[in-house]
Structure formats: C-alpha cells, structure tokens
Amino acid sequence: MIFYDPIELFGEEIGSQYNSLAALEGPDGHQSYNKLSSSVWTPDNLVITSENPNPAATVRWMDHFYGDEGAELYYMGVEGETFEIEDGEAVYSDHILNPEGDMTFEQAIAQDLTWLGSISGIIKADYFQGGETAPQSMEAAEKIEPQVIEEVWPRFTFTEEENRILQSTGEDINKYVEEMRDKFITGDEDLDNWDSYIQTIEQMGMEELQEVYQAAYDRYQSN
C-alpha cells in the first residue's frame, strides 16, 4: 500500500507484519517519490460572496487556521473537552479514542470536529491525528524522505474551459492509462507495445491536456 498506515487499516496483528521501503530505483539510477499531498490540502474550500458584510475579517478568520493555535483548534478541538496534553503532546480524549458501541474513530471525531471535510488549513504532525502520523507511518516517511521531490504542488485551480477539457479529454486519457497500466502489470499487454500505447495517448489529446496543466501551473507560480 502507498498511503494509509497498515495498522490503522488492518489492526495490530496483521498491520504490524508490513515493512516500509524507500523509493525503488529505476532505470539510469532514477529514484524519486512523488506520491505526496500538499500541506495545503484543498485550496477551494472557502468562498466569499458579494453578500459577505466583512470579507477582510473572514480572510483573517481563515488565516487563523494556518497558525499553530488555529491548527490545534481545527484538528484537536478544545483542551479539556476533546483533547488533553500528555507528555507535552496533544492527545484526543478517551470518548474519541475509545468511542462507545459500534462508533468508529472517524465518527467519534465528526461529533466534535470539522476537519473530516471542511475548511482548509495546514496539516501539522503535532495536531493531525490521522493514519499518516501513526508511528509506523512516520518511520516509513523517514525512509522515503531522501527520495522526496523538492516541490509538492497543491491542487491547481482551473478555468471553466479548462475544466471542460479535463472532464472530457482528461477523463478519457486517465481511464485509458489506468486500464493499460493494469494490463502491463498483469502481462495481458506486452511491454513491446509501449510505443503504441504512448502514440494512442498522444492521439487522444495529450498535448491539449498538458497545455491545461501548464497554464494552471503558470498561474500558481505567479501568485
């Protein structure tokens, strides 16, 4: 697996049997890892409309969640109610860590906190208690760190026309790539047909799709 912590997914007995690896080395010595999410998880979760009487105050409120105090409130809640400080670290209260009945950990969090799909902030290890900060995940992150790419992009924003291309040409190419990837891995497609595979992608409109992402990246760089 390449994302969630095995123990978080399968429990201690099975999950602890998994070992983490650094990035595998490819042809010509290439060895990098890019399966990363930006610290700014989603840049489009706040909208200020023309009806807002004080947009400046709203932006200051949003900006609060990018600092330590705001991150603690966002991910951990209120000390004494949803978390306690133990050995200098913020730890969820027992009613969240060990919820009653059939309630899951995520459901217990959702009773008090909004970060399971709400406004944006910066994901910080000191306050974010998801599977990515579990001990086994942090150990794996240390192994992979030397191969991590230098710049991790957040999700780009696109114009209406660019979204049209992404939803048509982009979706068609993504579907084809996923199908062919599985076939190459299983051997249903011979690797000798790789050049034909690339040619098909180009014929499907890859150049136009690259132009969309290049335009979005240029806007990101200029902001």
pLDDT digits (tens, 9 = 90+) for 86-108: 988 889 999 988 888 888 777 88
Contact 212, 170 (CB under 8 A): yes
The predicted pLDDT at position 53 comes to: 96
Whether residue 18 contacts residue 12, with contact meaning beta carbons closer than 8 Å, is answered with: no
Say how far apart CA 31 and CA 116 lie, in whole Å.
33
* Residue of higher predicted confidence among 217 and 6: 217
Is residue 93 within 8 Å of residue 82, measured between CB atoms?
Answer: yes
Predicted model pTM: 0.62
Domain boundaries, the chain: 6-147, 160-222
